[in-house]
Structure 1
Amino acid sequence: MMASVRRNPNKIKQGSVVVDIILYAIALVICLITLYPFYFVVIMSISSPSEVAAMNVFWYPKGFFFDSYELIIRDSKMWWAYSNTLIYVVAGTVLNCFTAVLGAYPLTVRNLKGRKWVIAFLLIPMYFGGGLIPSYLLVNKLGMYNTMFAVIIPGMVSIWNIILVRTFFTTIPDGLKESAFIDGASHWQLLFKVILPISKPILAVIAIYSIVGIWNSWFDALVYLPNEKLHPLQMYLYRVVVQQSVDLKMLSLEDTKNAVANMLSNIQLKYAIIVFTTLPVIFTYPFFQKYFIKGALLGSLKE
């Protein structure tokens, strides 16, 4: 008689195949819902202007039309705004990472007097701000109005980034820091030669947050930069999307036909500009993906 097989009560049971299929289906639906808006903009940007104006494009492009992208590439104002955005993104990202590191490291020194008070003080501006008018007056008084510094300097310090980097620094073993001090390292040497080389994940998180935020920013330019030559790419996109329509009643028949054709092209052109201005920041993420998830998880751990 064969002995009965005893089952281990602590053995992990596999889930139901039906439940797995349902979960995969739900995840697939969520992905499609998330990706469809961008896919919709892409197919609208390469479809015929008449089809776009009639809103007949839903699942695939109709009547391929790439002239809008040619117009965008030939537009010198767009490339000028593009170069401004690159300056804002590079300068803002570097300064955000730099200030986050310099602000976070002292808050990890346990014998620093008043450290807890400084941390509590930093939390106040996260929830309370002076508002737009005081910020405008401050920028104006400092002589930064209508200059690139009006966009770069006010956003160079993020308290959220400081707290995030500080939390990451607290996960670094104290033994590593003590070993560096025993070898005669100063705080500056410890920070730049020991801590920063192993802090690439959290720096990648700060960088991607800064790049996306600055790339999509346009309101600061609207408030502080009346000079169009200083406008970023999103401000250029804002001007295109909200442009006024043509009054057809004041035109001749031939001019009216041309105006209608231009209006149809303008509608389709807006979608092309959205795609053109969005793709660079989307392509940026894969370069930081290696460190992004790890940094986001480690930076969210509590001390």
Structure 2
Amino acid sequence: MKHKLYGGLIYLIILVFSLFCFLPFLLILSSSFTNEESILQHGYNLFPRVFDLSAYRLLFLDAGRILNGYKISIFVTVVGTIASLTITALLAYPLALKRVKLRKALNLYTLITLLINGGIVPWYIVCVRYLHLQDNVFALIVPYLVQAWNVFLLRSFFQTIPEEITESAKIDGAGEYRILFSIVAPLAKPALATVGLFISLLYWNDWWLGLTLLNKTELQPLQLLLRTIQSNVQFISTSAQGAEIIRATGGRLPSEGIKMAVCILTIGPIIFVYPFVQRYFIKGLTIGAVKG
């Protein structure tokens, strides 16, 4: 009876905590469907006082560009995540092996990239002049292929895998690539899923690479495109010419609603990634055992 009471109390606490986590999302969703006048007069509410689709109508005035931005962002996120996760695992695995002679030097070299930043100007020169990434869709992928933090995260997990497993596979004739992809990678699914989620969020939410390396509007990712739309609306609403346009049309630009609508459009697709990744988080950090 006492265990059931404690169990029910824990579930109640988790339920209340989940509701508190869901409320900000509900507030953003409600505000994106709320009339601009209502937001200015009454503030943000969990449910729309005056239902209005003006923010979404304004965003979808050029629906073709929005759709193209989704295509670019999805392509960059999928290809970038797969490529970055593969390269990160290929670098983290030898860093975790004690038998690699240059392991300490490679660890130090990777650590330096985490502590020291070369600056924006050298980075830009390398990307444009030497890697030829300007006005190329791969300009949104290549600069983020290797992140030192993700490398050390995977390396720490690889170090927890018993060496007896890899040694027995090596005795059976398996090479390093076979050991990594056939033995180590299946055991490292929780860590790979976690790092993969970090990488996908980085690619999906990024607008900086598009702003600095792209001049072609047809290559703009969704985040940069929506940021540009939001900036244009804010400029129009605060400029004298924009005030004349608003008075002439007899309406008000939904600047507050657009902020919330942009959030909904950008976070919507990435939410569907969590159900596929979550099942790996509940597993133990090490899977399998060493038989004596």
**What TM-score do you get using the length of structure 2 for normalisation?**
0.83
Partner of 2:251: 261
- Hey, what does 1:185 align to over in structure 2? 174
- Residue 95 of structure 2 corresponds to residue 104 of structure 1: no
Give the alignment partner of residue 48 of structure 1, picking from 16, 20, 35: 35
Q: Tell me which structure has the larger Cα radius of gyration.
A: 1
Q: CA deviation at 1:284?
A: 1.4
CA distance in 2, matches of 1:111, 1:252: 69
- Which has the larger displacement, 56-65 or 69-78? 69-78
Match in the other structure for 2:46:
59
* 2:77 equivalent to 1:89: yes
Is the 1:48–1:65 contact (alpha carbons within 8 Å) kept by the matching residues of 2? yes
- Which AA in structure 2 matches 1:150? A
8 Å contact from structure 1 (residues 233, 277) kept in 2: yes
- More helix by percentage: 2
Match of 1:222, SS state, is helix
In 1: Cα distance, 2:176 partner to 2:245 partner:
74
In the alignment, is the contact (CA less than 8 A) between 2:89 and 2:151 conserved in 1?
Answer: yes
Give the structure 1 partner of residue 113 of structure 2: 125
Matches within 5 A, 1:160-199: 160-199=149-188
Q: Which residue of 2 aligns with 1:149?
A: 138
The verdict on how the C-alpha distance between 1:293 and 1:226 changes in structure 2, with shifts beyond 3 A counting, is farther
Q: Identify the match of residue 231 of structure 2 among 217, 238, 242.
A: 242
Residue in structure 1 matched with residue 203 of structure 2 by the alignment: 214
RMSD: 3.1
1:51, 1:62 within 8 Å by CA — same for their partners in 2? yes
TM-superposed deviation, 1:255: 7.0
State the number of aligned residues: 279
Which residue, 40, 60, 64 being the options, matches 1:76? 64
Secondary structure class of the residue paired with 1:64: coil
Say whether the 8 Å CA contact 1:49–1:267 is kept in structure 2. yes
Secondary structure of the corresponding residue to residue 160 of structure 2: coil
Where do 5+ consecutive residues of structure 2 fail to align? 287-292
Q: Secondary structure at the match of 1:62?
A: coil
Equivalent residue number for residue 128 of structure 2: 140
Query: SS at 2:45's partner residue?
Result: coil
| Contact 2:81–2:196 under 8 Å retained in 1 | yes
Q: Which range moves more in the overlay, 209-218 or 56-65?
A: 56-65
- Give percent identity, aligned residues only: 30
Measured in 1, the distance between the counterparts of 2:245 and 2:163 equals: 78
For 1:270, the equivalent position in structure 2 comes to: 259
Structure 1 182/55 Cα, relative in aligned 2: closer, same or farther at 3 Å?
same
CA distance in 2, matches of 1:206, 1:272: 29
